[in-house]
Amino acid sequence: MSIIEAHNLVKKYDGLTAVDGIDFSIQEGEVFGFLGPNGAGKTTTMKMIYCFIQPTSGKLAVAGMDVTENPRQIKAILGVVPQDNNLDPDLTVFGNLIAYSRYFKLLREVAKKRTEELLELMQLSEKRKVVIDDLSGGMRRRLTIARGLINNPKILILDEPTVGLDPQARHLIWQKVRQFRSQGITIILTTHYMDEAAYLCDRLVIMNQGKILTEGKPEELVQKYVGDEVVELKGIQPEVANAVTHRFKDKYHLEHFGDSLYIFTPDGKSILSSLAEIKADKIIHRDADLEDVFLKLTGRSLIE
């Protein structure tokens, strides 16, 4: 059952088209990802979902409600975790959650009970009296996520939930996201970490320049666009890359970028022996992944 539906969704800023006629449907209870390079339109799309900005044209409905007609009702069922940890530095950990609960008009006893539950859930109970400046980056991120859950939302929006965190903090948040999903919360996620998207998302879209390039399950997209395996040749000269490309271009998909050559193949072992004489700093044989799909569709060069 769809909980969010978009049809021909457009957002323009002073002549710039940030979101260009996209369609997508998010099912209730799934983790849905928006991936794309900077400026692709994913954050703008998220802002329209949580009613921070209005669409220029098209249709966008959240829980059956139009975002332009029912923003207050929609915001009441959303939890939003922005990319920045915009916590109140003058308040304690406990105080931040209590203060935020007032936006949803929670009764004081209900707010206190909910705050205690969330501090325990995010492993912050021992930090309840600590001010924000004395928290680590991981603790601040967990508190920001707890704040987004204070109103017991039906839909949780996570904008780059683990940016800048160490591996332990990242994996803790991953486990919490999976726990939220098991409780029936619909989760919408943006991330630049492809392993995070592959691990968490049931389905995702890849956007570029305001358009959706593809949609599907992570593992299905890998199979569709790049196949099973990749052989990477690192540190090769241009003439060597050209020779290898000429040898394999009719059989495999190849990409040459900088001093690296990528050969996408269903069986990397079958070509490794034929590369024995190739002069390269390193030859890597690995499974294809979502990052390969992302780079194939959006390009390897920076777009400012």
Which token pair is 126? Answer: 């021992």
Residues 34 and 159 in one domain: yes
Query: What's the mean pLDDT when you consider all of the chain?
Result: 93
pLDDT tens-digit map of 204-216: 999 999 999 999 9
CATH of the domain at 84: 3.40.50.300
| Per-residue pLDDT at 83 | 87
- Residue (of 223, 214, 234, 243) closest to 284 by Cα position: 234
Euclidean distance between the first and final Cα of the chain, in Å?
Answer: 38
Domain assignment present for residue 300? The answer is no
Domain assignment present for residue 200? The answer is yes
Domain assignment present for residue 182? The answer is yes
**Which pairs from 101-109 meet CB under 8 Å and 24+ separation?**
101/150, 101/151, 104/76, 104/150, 104/151, 106/150, 106/151
- Bridge partners (DSSP) of residue 6 are 24, 60
CA distance 130 to 125: 10
Residues 265 and 209 in one domain: no
Q: Residue ranges of the alpha helices (H) in 57-121?
A: 71-76, 93-101, 108-121
Report which secondary-structure segment, H or E, holds 14: none
Ranges of residues in the chain with a pLDDT under 50 are none
Whole-prediction pTM = 0.91
CA distance 17 to 209: 8
Range of 192's domain?
2-217
| Per-residue pLDDT at 15 | 83
What phi, psi does 207 have (nearest 5°)?
A: -110, 155
| Per-residue pLDDT at 302 | 56
CA distance 260 to 241: 8
CATH of the domain at 242: 3.30.70.860
Residues 45 and 131 in one domain: yes
pLDDT tens-digit map of 91-133: 999 999 999 999 999 999 999 999 999 999 999 999 999 999 9
